[in-house]
Structure 1
Amino acid sequence: MTAWTGPTPTVRPIQFVTDLPTWRRFYTDLGLVGTGEDADGWTVLAAPSGRVALHAAARGGPLEGRTKLGLEVDDLGAYRDAVEAAGLPARPVTLGHGSALEVRVPGIGSVVVDRRQTPAGAAPVTPAVLSVVGLVHTEAVLEGAAAASRLGFRRRITSDGGGWADLVGHGILGLHAGEATTVDGTTACEISLEVGDLAPLLGKVTESGLQAHLIDEAYGRTLRVTMPDGSELWVNETQRDLYGYHVEEETQETR
């Protein structure tokens, strides 16, 4: 086992939307803040742990309503060295916004890693702070979780049946058993949020005029907030009931 020596990755899903100002207001009402990383048709918002990027999409176009998984790190060169030392290929690519890495991750798929422009969103994941979750559906949850630990994520909770695993870095990477999908050839995901106590957030959401309701799931409470497109964003309380799950003892190491 080789200790992870690279930068800690930040979870930063990219959500394609047709009304950027409305979606930006939605996330700021939930407690995310602007980072100043704005361009034509692009903005990044940060929770204390993890970030969300909004990308303008054409109404009725193939990207409308889609979200893909993205990661960010402070130093692309150091991250590439660490990922390759962990046994995963990391290919430099040049995209419209600049240099990035593309990493092929077993059980997850192709993931693009960008350089993080500001320190916003780099707090550790704890129940005390709001965290962004990038939720990936995969037919190979355990393979994906093992591979993600070679990206610098630390394994946290895994279901005994192998249908769920989550890992933490800056933000949370969740893996759920299901059909894998892609967006523009890279791994698709869903966005959710996590915090230790939903009560303060429920008050904030209510004051903002958003529609939301609390649900008691088997693993804990979830606040379901109606998004601008009519679907629901799930905000989960940090899981405390571990019946049917186990906490991984893994430190930030790679196998």
Structure 2
Amino acid sequence: MVDMKSSVDVRPSASRVRTKIDWLDSKHSFSFGPHYDPANTHHGLLLVNNDDIVRPGAGFETHPHRDMEIVTWVLQGSLVHQDSSGHSGVIYPGLAQRMSAGRGILHSEKNDTVGVTEPVHFVQMWVLPDEAGIDPGYQQLEIEDELLRGGLVPVASGMAEHDSAIRIRNRYAALHVARLAAGSSVQLPDAPYLHVFVARGAVTLEGPGPLAEGDAARLTAVGGARVTADADAEMLVWEMHATIAS
């Protein structure tokens, strides 16, 4: 086994590149679309961590994806999903959703629920599947009750030990979510690659210190640290046991 150099790379919210148009405010943790930086393409297996706000009555029209596991986590409001495999649904806080693009799929995502008057705020995350050309797929699962119990809740996983989560087609990756009351804490998984994203509130990560809303930390060979909420917070943690070859 190759020894890995331990590191914690904190990325402040303001360092993210941004796409802002009349109906969309999107902040990208990694290179995305025209915002390309060869030094910021991924961490571990995570290629995309987009923090999106979409105004009422608008959204992403039908567009294609291929060979990608796409997990969507809604923080506020509701998002309507439709795809070319016949799946449709409304995603809201506490509902985990995964779309496997596989050999090719078309889908749309819109803030057009009847009578909606508020923006929808969600985080969309992409990881590569274990193999290309699989059948497209869709899964959603209500996990609000699990979140209310506290701690890190596995939301989307390809790892065998996470049988309560929705499944992704990558056996080396798992997304955990924690809703933390001020003063409570959780211990991060012991994994060679971790991506910690503060979706709301503020926390303190053992070692680097405070992380505000929108901040992220990319940990390499630094598993098991504790995270404590400085205020009520919601945190998304990717546990990854492999990385994309450079």
Per the normalisation by structure 2, the TM-score is 0.30
Per the normalisation by structure 1, the TM-score is 0.29
Give the strand-richer structure, 1 or 2. 2
